[in-house]
Chains A and B, each alone.
Chain A
Amino acid sequence: MKSPTAGQAAIFCRAASSSSDDLPEAASCIESVAVSGADWLRQDGADTRRHFEHALGRLQRSATLGRLVSGEISRLAHDGAYIPERVVPGRLSLYENADCRLDLVTTRTSAEQPSTFLYSNTTSLVHVSLDDSARVSISAYQAPRVERNDTFVAGATLELIEQRNLGRYDAIRASADGLTAHDLCSDRPSVLLRIALKRELPFVWGFDREVLAAKFYYPSDVGASRRALAIDFLLATSHPRLAELCSLLRASQWHFLRWRAIQVMAREGFATVDELMQGACGDDHPEIRAAARDALDQMAQA
């Protein structure tokens, strides 16, 4: 398996096949923007911002992005079976390392019907407009009364904290501290550069766009839901290694999986209820601690 950086270099190499002489310089431009953008996201200071803007200026002067995309199109035109890598609707991934990723993304246009829900950020982001012919606007929101990403508060509302237009190579930083969301829109199809930290919050919240009220939340990683199905499946089939799976999931980063594992262990008698609930009283999540204390109280009263 190649390292992410090597993987990216390979993508760029293909894209820039008509101008391979300047490959190292162009790849270095992209990496600098991603790494300095991630630094700025981790620490919002004058120095980190200046370094990022310097990298952005270098990227702009080098016209790297236009060449990269043109190179990919050239390859596509010459090879009918070529399937571009790392492209999904509205997003082309340019760079990725263990810490961050850099993508090109399209904006929703004002003519398009917006989705019913506005979704919360799962990580901190920097957006950079690349277009001077489109009017790109960003609205940033925060839910001031929500303390934990992993404890749903039905009806919690988002408040608009900033709304501004982005000029060409104008950057805006959206922190995921607290519960935040943003909405990008442009008057015509447009493309932005997006730098995202890899560290993700565990849940995505869906807010009704009309009234900005929280309606539901779900794990940001589909792997959490797959694990939940796995435990249900092993339980339903009385699999001989169910206890082993419960032990694995009892240490999960997702609180609902930890609680599900504890419930199944109690039900199947893999440990005493008292032992399981005593352990759960020390869990990181307040809902698990509260549920465990309730269970112990009920046992004491029984």
Chain B
Amino acid sequence: MPAKIPSVACRPVSLAEYVEHIEAEVDFRDRDSIIASAPMLQRLAANKNFLGDWLIDQLSADASEFQRGNDYNYQSIVLRVTDDYMLRVNFWVPEAHIAKHGARETMAFGYDAYHNHNFNLLTVGYSGSGYATDIYRMREPFRAHEIGDVPELAALGRWHLGRGEVMFYDAFADVHSQIAPAELSVSINLMTHSTRDTWPQYMFDTRTMAITGIVGSPLDARIHLLTLAKPMVPGVANEALQELARTDPSPRLRKLAADALDDRFTGWR
């Protein structure tokens, strides 16, 4: 189940203190250990100036390097990445902004876009009124699904991430979509990640909850390379794709390799 921890009054910590704490205390492979670090995330969120200070310091130091390598859309700012986790800030723009800029912005911010995660996510409301989110729980998260499948989902209702509140989303099982907040809001995300995912992150149709797409992961670069190589060195590339389709430990990669062999792999989402 997703978890929600209410806001509490607490002493603020700096970003450096927060990082030092989680790197010393948290086992990023362990769900309970991640949830247990929630109070420290609340203390970081209680530091009202750290993010603005961090942004200005980054832009003043070398503006051309600002967020270089951050491939997320402009909603996201990456504060830190290690082999075990990513610390990311998400901006949530309000309804009025979306209405002004239209469908492209809606997509960019992931509103009305149901998805699960292939990572555990601990998030705290940092500023603004905060987003609402409709959450479902996948009954069989560790089962391969095809595009068009409608997995069995249990509706868990509408939740809200207010300032200082923490939510934990389970990898794979929790499916949700954000709803634009009333005012510009910011959340801070602690996301675990592994170098070897085994199950896909899906996108779902808002109305039918059928799977409409698969969200990319770093390992997909193996398929991207082979797809690109096919016209250049077809023998070698097809052989490698056949091997991946047959033997890769990830059902996701096996499926993508099989699709690529048939020229059916063209992109994401």
Q: Using Cβ atoms and an 8 Å threshold, which residues of chain B touch A232?
A: 184
Option from A73, A223, A237 in Cβ contact (under 8 Å) with B225: A73
Interface positions, chain B 252-267, Cβ under 8 Å from A, are 263, 266-267
Which residues B206-249 have CB closer than 8 A to chain A?
A: 216, 218-222, 224-233, 236-237, 240, 243, 248-249
B228 touches A92 (CB 8 A): yes
Q: A80-B249, A226-B67, A233-B91 are in contact. Are A191 and B232 (CB under 8 A)?
A: yes
Which of A104, A106, A222, A226 has its CB near the most chain B CB atoms (within 10 A)? A226
B108's nearest neighbour on chain A, judged by CB, is: A225
Chain A CB within 8 A of B8 CB = no
Minimum CB–CB distance for A248 against chain B, Å: 6
A104/B228 in contact, CB under 8 A: yes
Q: Is B52 an interface residue (CB 8 A)?
A: yes
Residue B183 CB within 8 A of the other chain:
yes
Interface size counted on chain B using CB atoms at 8 A: 53
Known: A84-B221, A89-B267, A226-B74. A73 touches B52 (CB 8 A): no
A227 interface residue, CB < 8 Å from B?
yes
Residues of A at the B interface (CB closer than 8 Å) are 65-66, 69-70, 72-74, 76-77, 80-85, 87-92, 104, 106, 112, 130-131, 133-134, 188-191, 216, 218, 222-223, 225-227, 229-230, 232-234, 236-237, 239-242, 244-245, 248
28 contacts between A and B (CB under 8 A): A69-B229, A69-B233, A69-B237, A73-B225, A73-B236, A73-B240, A76-B222, A76-B226, A77-B240, A80-B248, A83-B222, A85-B221, A92-B225, A92-B228, A104-B228, A131-B232, A134-B231, A189-B227, A218-B104, A222-B67, A222-B73, A222-B74, A223-B66, A229-B93, A232-B184, A239-B52, A242-B52, A248-B60
Which residues of B line the A interface, CB within 8 A?
48-49, 51-53, 55-56, 59-60, 63, 66-67, 70, 73-75, 77, 91, 93, 104, 127-128, 183-184, 186, 195-196, 216, 218-222, 224-233, 236-237, 240, 243, 248-249, 263, 266-268
